[in-house]
Amino acid sequence: QQPAQFTNPETPGYVGFANLPNQVHRKSVKKGFEFTLMVVGESGLGKSTLINSLFLTDLYPERIIPGAAEKIERTVQIEASTVEIEERGVKLRLTVVDTPGYGDAINCRDCFKTIISYIDEQFERYLHDESGLNRRHIIDNRVHCCFYFISPFGHGLKPLDVEFMKAIHNKVNIVPVIAKADTLSLKERERLKKRILDEIEEHGIKIYHLPDAESDEDEDFKEQTRLLKASIPFCVVGSNQLIEAKGKKVRGRLYPWGVVEVENPEHNDFLKLRTMLITHMQDLQEVTQDLHYENFRSERLKRGSRKIEDEEVNKDQILLEKEAEVR
Amino acid sequence: PHAGPVESKNEAAMSELVPEPRQKPVVPMKPMGINANLLGYIGIDTIIEQMRKKTMKTGFDFNIMVVGQSGLGKSTLVNTLFKSQVSRKSSGWNREEKIPKTVEIKAIGHVIEEGGVKMKLTVIDTPGFGDQINNENCWEPIEKYINEQYEKFLKEEVNIARKKRIPDTRVHCCLYFISPTGHSLRPLDLEFMKHLSKVVNIIPVIAKADTMTLEEKIEFKQRVRKELEVNGIEFYPQKEFDEDLEDKTENDKIRQESMPFAVVGSDKEYQVNGKRVLGRKTPWGIIEVENLTHCEFALLRDFVIRTHLQDLKEVTHNIHYETYRAKRLNDNGGLPPMTAETEENHESNL
């Protein structure tokens, strides 16, 4: 973004606060951004590959994929990895929260408890820090966005997808994603997207809505926002392998029948997903703060006051009992 | 049937056993070697032709079951296998249908004909399998169905007045669809195959294989084969039923290299290099279903239909059904299970 041109400070009547955006910008650049992205979906839907492709990194260098027999015993785990990405002087401290084990068990009844607890814990911690004495260095580990991976092999949402999204849509911004999109023809993709959107509406699931472009934005940006909104859920293909195609090296997947290019908008929505995430990182954080966190906070404080009373009653009770014992 | 050497003194006895009278050869019988036609010809080899003609006239039953999560392409694959609209997809099934809350068993029968041979094909679909949040024991309705067909056959077999041809509704082959995650089998896959490989011929297939590159496919197949082996799952063709060395060599190759078949199904045709082929059209190319460099559909088809169809039926009848029958008889104290007829007679005998 170009720094705003401000008028000559010598002009009479000029105050100078038009420079504020530049100051904020400079401070942000110095401070860097923090962003926590949670990734949820069954094994094998292409989550790790997509995350690595989005951020051009290898977040899982020593990964061991367990076999089916081991998965039978496993419960859902929460694994957070943090990576610092810098681009043109701007630092991003990205935390990716992975949820291995989700959707793998034969009985997935308890699948989401661990995940919901994690999200609530981060809110709890932030609430605690916010109410504390030293508020200078509050670390924001709240989950700003959750990529929920829907299988490209099905005919739409599965019962587990519906139940999970309903359980977290009031706690986190949900962005539904369909990875391994190269398994679908263009027609199949359109059909699947429409089916999923219909089912989301039918079940009253609240997914993250991109804000409409402001009226003062330029036409290109407005058009881009329109296109992004129309493409949800995004059908993406991830890869960090370089393939030779049409004389140049592209990131893609090589099949006997052709090459799927990750960054080709005619092949999949990868660029759209990346654009959406980057241009709306700020908004995702705001909605988390203003909506989800505030919801949690007001619920918590309402409950909290009742809870503290109960605790005090119990203390008195215990004292009485102890006295009786001593007597 | 091989024509072995015939002793002249046995010739008269043999002609008594032969059910259909045949003209005796003019030249008296002499001990024969392999080149029977040089010295005289019995005609035993015409039995093959007789069997073939009979099969053509009566036709045969083949019952194939498909199991796997919704959306793995089961119905499309079955249609592709038999080049006809024989699956659930064709008979009033709507893609927009909701996932059923429990596993349903839907059997659809069709008669298809090729080269004068009639096949009564029944495709048994299992919608709802593996789609719930809690999939515990979701294989039970399937196991129950399979055993019910054995029971039906058994009851017919023990009848006093038996039908000439007992209708065979037993499941000859169960295609189990593995999701192409590229990682490993899912816990549900293991549990299903562990339970059902003991009652039916299971052929695991990797569905929607156009989602994997060549390397990913090879790695995934190796991993799946290893997992199946480690967990003691015997899929068809089972090692213990290889009849001779020839079978064993052929089946070893299939078991250790080709299976599980990574397949792609399609009932749409496209023009490729001047030919019409079954395939899937994508912005980056056309996937040809019957092209072996693209996927292994042709291997699966040849395996199930062109080479092992009869064997699938035989193993079902001689092994799985017999196992069921033995267990039933044992449970019943060595007696066959009662049918309405036998019950009446039993009482009158008492």
What is this structure's pTM? Answer: 0.79
Q: Calculate the CA A169 to chain-centre distance.
A: 12
d(CA B56, CA B173) in angstroms, rounded, equals 22
* B273 phi-psi bin (left φ>0, alpha ψ -120 to 50, beta other): left
Q: Check pLDDT > 80 for residue A110.
A: yes
> Are A257 and B186 in contact (CB < 8 Å)?
no
Nearest C-alpha neighbor of B186 from the set A66, A58, A301, A47: A66
Residues of B whose CB is below 8 A from A45: 181
Please tell me the distance in Å from B188's CA to the nearest CA on chain A.
Answer: 6
Minimum mean pLDDT range among B10-14, B19-23, B96-100, B186-190: B10-14
Indicate the average pLDDT of chain B. Answer: 82
Q: Does residue B247 lie in a domain region? A: yes
pLDDT band, residue A139 (cuts 50/70/90): confident
Q: Which pLDDT score is estimated for A29?
A: 67
Is the predicted ipTM greater than 0.95, yes or no? no
B213 shares contact with chain A (CB less than 8 Å): yes
Residues of B whose CB is below 8 A from A255: 210, 213-214, 284-285, 287
Domains of chain A (ranges, CATH numbers): 28-239+266-326 (3.40.50.300)
d(CA B61, CA B78) in angstroms, rounded, equals 16
Indicate the average pLDDT of chain A. Answer: 84
Q: Check pLDDT > 60 for residue B8.
A: no
Q: Which pLDDT score is estimated for B92?
A: 54
d(CA B320, CA B238) in angstroms, rounded, equals 12
What integer is the mean pLDDT of A73-93?
Answer: 82
Q: Which pLDDT score is estimated for A90?
A: 77
Name residues 133-172 of chain B within 8 A of A (Cβ).
Answer: 133-136
Q: Does residue B281 lie in a domain region? A: no
Q: What percent of chain B has pLDDT over 70?
A: 81
pLDDT band, residue A287 (cuts 50/70/90): very high
pLDDT band, residue A191 (cuts 50/70/90): very high
Q: Which pLDDT score is estimated for A10?
A: 63
d(CA B273, CA B285) in angstroms, rounded, equals 13
Please report which residue ranges of chain B form alpha helices under DSSP H: 11-17, 36-39, 46-58, 74-81, 140-157, 187-196, 214-230, 245-253, 297-301, 309-315, 322-331, 340-349
The size of the A-B interface in CB pairs under 8 A is: 128
Q: What's the 3-state SS for A273-291?
A: HHHHHHHCHHHHHHHHHHH
Residues B303-313: tens digit of each pLDDT: 998 889 989 99
> How many domains does chain B divide into?
1
> Are A67 and B223 in contact (CB < 8 Å)?
yes
Q: Does residue B18 lie in a domain region? A: no
Q: Check pLDDT > 60 for residue A314.
A: no
Task: Give the domain CATH number at B310.
Answer: 3.40.50.300
Q: Which residues sit opposite B121 in a β-bridge?
A: B62, B110
Residues B315-346: tens digit of each pLDDT: 999 999 999 999 998 888 766 666 545 555 54
- Identify the closest residue of chain B to A266 by CA–CA distance: B283
Residues of B whose CB is below 8 A from A149: none
Residues of B whose CB is below 8 A from A43: 181, 183, 186
d(CA A262, CA A240) in angstroms, rounded, equals 9
Q: Does residue B19 lie in a domain region? A: no
Question: Three-state SS for A194?
Answer: helix
Residues B278-304: tens digit of each pLDDT: 999 999 899 999 999 999 999 999 999
B214 shares contact with chain A (CB less than 8 Å): yes
Please tell me the distance in Å from A204's CA to the nearest CA on chain B.
Answer: 17
Please tell me the distance in Å from B294's CA to the nearest CA on chain A.
Answer: 6
Residues B253-281: tens digit of each pLDDT: 999 989 999 999 998 899 988 989 999 99
Q: Tell me which residue range forms the domain holding B180.
A: 57-89+96-264+294-330
Q: Does residue B275 lie in a domain region? A: no
What integer is the mean pLDDT of B168-195?
Answer: 94
Residue type, A3: P
Q: Which pLDDT score is estimated for A222?
A: 87
Residues 6+ apart with CB under 8 A from A130: A138
Q: Tokens 């032709």 label which residue?
A: B49
Q: Does residue B37 lie in a domain region? A: no
Q: Does residue B35 lie in a domain region? A: no
